[in-house]
Chain A
Amino acid sequence: GESVGLHLPTLSVQEGDNSIINCAYSNSASDYFIWYKQESGKGPQFIIDIRSNMDKRQGQRVTVLLNKTVKHLSLQIAATQPGDSAVYFCAEKGDGNKLVFGAGTILRVKS
């Protein structure tokens, strides 16, 4: 699909508020999904994953929700902190057992 190039969607939240980052995936056969965080000048960092036989998984301050009916994934971050500012990518394990990354969402946390 077409990428959004430099114009990534941006979510701005106040420090302490909850953040919800959304992702639509393309392959209904995908059975595994990961959320990554990427800070400027660094490689992506694993946050949380979920298999398709689940619809919710919780980690420390993060929750991933999976809605297979509409092929939608979301990442909820509780009590967002300035250190959470980054670009967030969802990725699906698609055909050929390779990860296919989405375009990313910029999260900006205002103090």
Chain B
Amino acid sequence: EAGVAQSPRYKIIEKRQSVAFWCNPISGHATLYWYQQILGQGPKLLIQFQNNGVVDDSQLPKDRFSAERLKGVDSTLKIQPAKLEDSAVYLCASSQGPFRFGEQFFGPGTRLTVL
């Protein structure tokens, strides 16, 4: 079974530029999560989707971050404009259903560096 796919793996941008990350979850997984992991810290949930609807985006900085999952499969996370403090690894995860954290599979992440 293929795992969660993410691209790109690495991205370097200047502050105030825009960037987008892509995630393809495990086939059949209805729930998709985006996490931000700052170096030396544990992941922090940014947004959770159930199919193409948002379940929780309470920790998403909505003035600059946006995410969508239009067809209930792939998802994109965008930052516009980026700040230095956005430098982190952005992890995508998926599970068959909501709150099934023990069955949540993570992708390898996209490492973002903002200069």
Contact = CB atoms under 8 A, between A and B. Distances in A.
Question: Do A and B come together as binding partners?
Answer: yes
A43 interface: yes
| B interface secondary structure, majority | loop
Given A34-B102, A43-B108, A46-B102, A96 B43 contact: no
A96 B106 contact: no
B39 A44 contact: no
Contacts, number: 65
Interface centre among A4, A6, A32, A98 (most CB of B within 10 A): A98
A75 interface: no
Contact of A99 (B4, B41, B101, B108): B101
Interface string B38-77: 1111111100100000001010000000000000000000
A107 to B, nearest CB: 15
B44 A101 contact: yes
A7 interface: yes
Nearest to A92: B101
A44 B99 contact: no
A91 interface: yes
A83 interface: no
A42 to B, nearest CB: 6
Contact of A104 (B42, B48, B58, B104): B42
Interface string B18-41: 000000000000000000001111
A3 B58 CA distance: 20
Interface string A4-44: 11111000000000000000000000001010000001111
A103 B41 contact: yes
A91 B56 contact: no
A43 B43 CA distance: 10
Interface string A27-65: 000001010000001111110010000000000000000
A8 B39 CA distance: 10
